[in-house]
Amino acid sequence: MLVCSALAVQSGIAADSPKGPVNTGRLAATSAKANPLLAASRLPYGFPEFDKIRNEHFAPAFDIGLKQHSAEIKQIAENKASPSFENTIVALERSGRLLSRVETVFSNLTATNTNPVLEQLSVELAPKLSAHQDQITLNGKLFERIAALYQQREQLGLDAESLRLLERYYTDFVRAGAKLNAEQKEKLKSLNSQLATLGTRFSQNVLKETNASALVVDSREELKGLSDSEIQTAAATAKSRGLDGKFVIPLMNTTGQPLLATLENRQTRQRLYEASVNRGSHGGSFDNRQVAIDLAKLRAERAQLLGYPNYAAYGLQSETAKTPEAVNNMLGQLAPAAVKNARAEAAELQKLIDAQQGGFQLAAWDWAYYTEQLRKARYAFDDSLLRPYFELNNVLENGVFYAATKLYGITFKERKDLPVYHPSVRVYEISDRDGKPMALFIADMYARDSKRGGAWMNSYAEQADLFGHKPIIANHLNIPQPPAGEATLLTMDEVRTAFHEFGHALHGLFSKVRYPRFSGTNVPRDFVEYPSQVNEMWATWPEVLTNYAKHYQTGQVIPQNLLDKVSAASRFNQGFATTEYIAASLLDQRWHQISADAIPSDALAFEQQALKQMGVDFAPVPPRYRTTYFSHIFGGGYSAGYYAYLWSEVLDADTVEWFKENGGLTRKNGDWFREKLLSRGGSIDPMESFRQFRGRDPKIQPLLERRGLQ
């Protein structure tokens, strides 16, 4: 998921700012006809004019946007009038609208439909944007104005949201180095520039390496166990890469690969697993071992410069967890039980291998395959029986959208009149419970070589009363696209992911705040996953499931006996699922809880030692992500924060219990959740919004029961 930065949010100059036009604004106006990025889109909701935007438009638009924003910041900082909330804080919220618009479109396209030109521009822009951010947060005159307001904040008569905004700006500037001396600021600028460049490089390496590491298979026999459709897709992928007569299996983002569950040929499974797990660590131009080391070292140095013992201490201070100790305590409590469960599951799988006279010890590439066999034996079904009932359009419109309509009263209408950046992308207009149009939703469901892995939500426009903005929200999945004319059938995991990401979308859609800084998902990372995880519950809610889970050929509703089996198997393999996640979370913490002088020289040796020391080095269950392709923490916004999914799941599991206790899928429940939590964004303390919704602090017992960790 992508969230706009706190300081490059919107633009314009406050009414009591110094008068007079900014020269770069004239340049933007005169160039707008030639460059669609330089003027607000005339399409509904300000939807980006994807049909007009070209690669060559971005560089000049960034140049003008940066100059315009710098001029606006200078006007705010050098305003002769005494600092006021309006001429300083609100002016900052209004500033940078052009730059924000350009950066939003650019960052979203580089994630969803990139090309070599955009990739090169990303590398060039990274240090420029970092320097621009430093120009703002390290501006002494600007900070003096913010600090003066902060010191007298109780006497300003501000409403609660405005007071919180002032406090957030002060805190953000201090955490960004505003109190450092001149020499320290120059050092910080250098570190920030290097970090921006390396983070971009890491992400690009992961995408390129993932594409380059796709498994090439010579014969159909080696793919035994796959469906005809999956084999045809592999053949078509090979043909598209100039490998006629062969088969290609692209890699997904995580260590585990979906087809490991059905490939019967053990050698093919091993090759697929090793192609995945060795990404970024076997030499070549996409190797990320040294990049990860350099990123960890620079982050540690930056944290130390800002007065923190390590990067985790710095990063977690602004999260709901607050300290590394709190995170370590949670993960440390759960890890032993998770690994114990995983070892028990492994013993069951080994019995199955031995009963079949396999003659080998369970390995990581065997886990999913024999787990599916055990699932079939224990619950008399396998995931392949479910897929015919999970056709993509049904899941989206009759499942995800249906649940949202029942809960919140919103309705959906597809818009085919708006331009999109890829033919497979769909756009829907959402109307609120009163029937009035409120937002646009972009559904980008399919995987492609130009799109980064994983699943996420992002915004092209965020709700903010300050500007009267209506949201434009997008969800992105990476579902393999079948051959033309064939149905897109999802796995149960892909169905849950669709509901999960739409939970993020709801957080953005229902935002009801004044300031862009607090809109929608602009909340701590260890809280942002909470609403999305709650929305997963509706994927298997009987009323919702029977509305979308219909056979793609016959229209038959999924049989009740199959539903019962899905429910019975819900805790199956939880030892594996919890262990792989906790291992990745602990690895993230280990990389970011060390000081700059303790950074290792060998990334993989450090990883192996760390997993062993933390008691999660169980070979059949590798971390969900290994260091060299752990984009969440080295290329994205989850550095020292990957624990957030489990932290949020405590709130999620408790909330699911509340819905069940109060009647489930009802408008009354949806309206309460929307009012007390989804609409608040970051305008109040997130845990306070939880308490207002739930009536108390969260309890961990529902999570322990869900994961089988009592």
Which residues are known catalytic residues? Answer: 501
> How many residues in total does the chain contain?
710
Looking only at Cα atoms, what is the longest distance across the chain? 84
Q: Which of 678, 253, 283 is nearest to 507 (CA)?
A: 678
Interstrand relation of 437-446 and 472-479 (parallel, antiparallel or unpaired): parallel
Residue 492, judged by CB atoms within 10 A of its CB (0-12, 13-18, 19+), counts as: middle
Percent helix, percent strand, percent coil in the chain, to nearest 5: 60, 5, 35
3-state DSSP call for residue 387? Answer: helix
| Exposure string over 660-678, b if 16+ CB within 10 A, otherwise e | eeeebbeeebbebbbebbb
Q: Show the tokens assigned to 463.
A: 């709700």
- How would you write 282-345 as a 3-class SS string? CCCCCCCHHHHHHHHHHHHHHHHHCCCCCHHHHHHCCCCCCCHHHHHHHHHHHHHHHHHHHHHH
Residue 296 to residue 302: CA distance in whole angstroms: 10
441 three-class SS: strand
Q: How far is CA 434 from CA 409, 410, 413, 470, 507, in A?
A: 8, 8, 15, 15, 19
What is the DSSP secondary structure assignment for residue 88, as one 8-state letter? I
Return left, alpha or beta for 56; rule: phi > 0 is left, psi -120 to 50 is alpha, else beta: alpha
Annotate 480-517 with DSSP letters as a single string.
PPPSTTS--B--HHHHHHHHHHHHHHHHHHT---SSGG
Backbone conformation region of residue 555, classed left if phi is above 0, alpha if psi is from -120 to 50, else beta: left
Cβ(679)–Cβ(519) under 8 Å?
no
Residue 76's nearest CA partner among 13, 32, 7 is 13
H-type helices in 358-413, by residue range?
367-379, 383-386, 392-395, 401-408
- Phi, psi dihedrals of residue 479, rounded to the nearest 5°: -85, 130
Using CA atoms, how far apart are residues 327 and 521, in angstroms rounded to an integer? 22
